[in-house]
Amino acid sequence: MSLERDPFVDILLQSGFLKEEQLEEATQVQKQTGASDLGRVLMDLNMVGEREVLAAKAKATGQMFVDLDRLQIESSAINVVPERLVKLHSVIPVKKDGTNLWVAMSNPNDLEAIDQIQLASGCRVRPAVAVPAAIEEAIRRYYAASTGGDSSESGEMPSAAGAVGNVAVNRNDLRAIMAQAQVARDADKISQKETDESDEDMADQAPIIKLANAIIQQAINDRASDIHVEPMERSVRIRYRIDGVLMEAMTVPKNLQAPLISRFKIMAEMNIAERRVPQDGRIEVRNAGQEYDMRVSTIPTPFGEKIVMRILDKGNAMVGLHKLGFTPENQARIEELISQPNGMFLCTGPTGSGKTTTQYSVLNKLNSIGVNIITVEDPVEYQLGGIAQVQVNKKAGLTFGTALRAFLRQDPDIIMVGEMRDLETAEIAIEASLTGHLVLSTLHTNDAPSATLRMIDMGVEPYLIAATVIGVLAQRLGRRLDQDHKEPYEVPAIDLRRFGFEITDPEESVTLYRGVPHENNRQTGYRGRVGLHELMTMNAEIAEMVVRRTPVHEIKMAAKANGMKELREDGLAKVLMGITDPEEVMRVVFTAGF
């Protein structure tokens, strides 16, 4: 019998999982036994594992393979497929992105299963190949709620308000935890006038405590910077901001909304009876030996209170300047600027652009036994050893201005002002700079040269700006390509002209990189973020232009002549290095009318 060589065999050979002599032996066994599947023969002879065979077959046919032993399955995917269909067809949903639903199957060509899942979920099914035994194990773990059992690893969560302690709920058990909370809620038969008291009681019950903690832990494990708890008309949507982009994590039943929100408010030490006005609070979390602070904010909406929790990793405060994505030239210039005994160094950019992280990294570099560093912040996001940090308290009359006045009597060497918000703060900061202090602060402007105009708009005299500002750093955060899963591609050089790319040959092409969707990057091709920077250093020419109130575009030209690379140019450098891609630079840097 003549057997044609299957393409998956070449993939096994190329990847090193199979040797030529093993293939010859397996082929002989196949001929002798009449087996139709060479892959099964290879597995029966213990030459190649089932995972490797299935992955090679998937690659050969252009299908996706998922390793369920390593993949973190999303609760939002689990929630849209009934358990009955999952067990009937031996499949497991793994990821939901909008109307697309990725489903791991032992037979990705099972059209009946695909049709039924699409009908039940309302999503477009994207089949993927997985090891059958791994699918069965995943069904057992993720659909454990059907047995009524509790598969959490650590039993009940701590119930103390304001702290989560060592959160230990596994994200695999979110569905089981939510089901327990649902049962507890359904069992609570109460009248309407007792609703408030019941919600508070429910917030202290173990299932709701577990659910709240599991939502937090999953966000931490997914490297999220924010958690959004959003009441909808018929459900509660949970979204995480990961690498700067919001992604849906799960949907909670509407009747769990009140106790869940009450639980978060109790943890943040808020007034749970007050639902009409915004509130702010804070939660301390310890997970896997790492400490986190969470800034919690609530606002009233037509469908209930929306909660946003910003996750602050205390370890991030210790990031060195060399880890923030600066080019060697920019890092050297920044280190030179912050070594000055006096002057003002400003960071600018929109909310969430990494200004605070940069300022803390500068403080860490400057912090030593020989200098006195004082900060005034609203709020204090990270606590740094050896630095006196003051938090604004407007109710007590402690503003940026009053704190800065007091600082000048505290013999400081370096002062950090969390944000320069008004003329009073700016004038005192300038006074500190003029009297021999290095001042660090932030502003909200789109680029570095615009910082001088912003200060003039606040009422600061131009000559004071020229005399004190030594440098302005504008920055953005763009998503970083998953460096373990990226591929090269060619583009015409002319396509990069908008980034400032200098074209010498109209026919020239450039090699760039794009991310490859993978379970390790949540099928986005990105993992982590990188800073894009624009550093303007003050010189005599620029200082004179500021005094003369020269238009910003002329100041920008002078700054570029002095060595400044624009945000788009810094982005281009990181695109050419394979760190990010043009689409991401466009997303975070370019604005209308640019």
What does the pLDDT read at residue 4?
57
Residue owning tokens 């393409």: 7
Separation between Cα atoms, residue 590 and residue 480, nearest integer Å? 17
The SS3 assignment for 342 reads: coil
What does the pLDDT read at residue 153?
37
Side chain identity at 239, as an amino acid letter?
Answer: R
Q: What is the 3-state secondary structure (H, E, C) of 40-55?
A: HHHHHCCCCCHHHHHH
Structure tokens at 322: 């060399």
What does the pLDDT read at residue 107?
86
Contact in structure between 80 and 93 (CB atoms under 8 Å): yes
Tell me the per-residue pLDDT of 390-404, one tens digit each, with 9 for 90 and over: 998 888 889 888 999
Q: Which residue ranges of the chain lie beneath pLDDT 70? A: 1-5, 144-206, 314-319, 591-594
Q: Which helix (H) or strand (E) holds 359?
A: helix 355-366
What pTM was computed for the model? Answer: 0.65
The SS3 assignment for 166 reads: strand
What does the pLDDT read at residue 442?
93
What does the pLDDT read at residue 182?
63
Give which of 333, 324, 113, 306 is closest to 227, Cα–Cα: 306
What does the pLDDT read at residue 594?
44
Separation between Cα atoms, residue 26 and residue 438, nearest integer Å? 74
What does the pLDDT read at residue 414?
95
What does the pLDDT read at residue 121?
82
Give which of 210, 153, 214 is closest to 183, Cα–Cα: 210
Separation between Cα atoms, residue 428 and residue 332, nearest integer Å? 29
Evaluate the CA torsion angle 556, 561, 567, 572 in order and state its sign.
Answer: positive
Residues 46-67 as b/e (b if ≥16 CB within 10 A, e otherwise) read ebbeebbbbbbbbbeeebbbbb
Structure tokens at 137: 């194990």
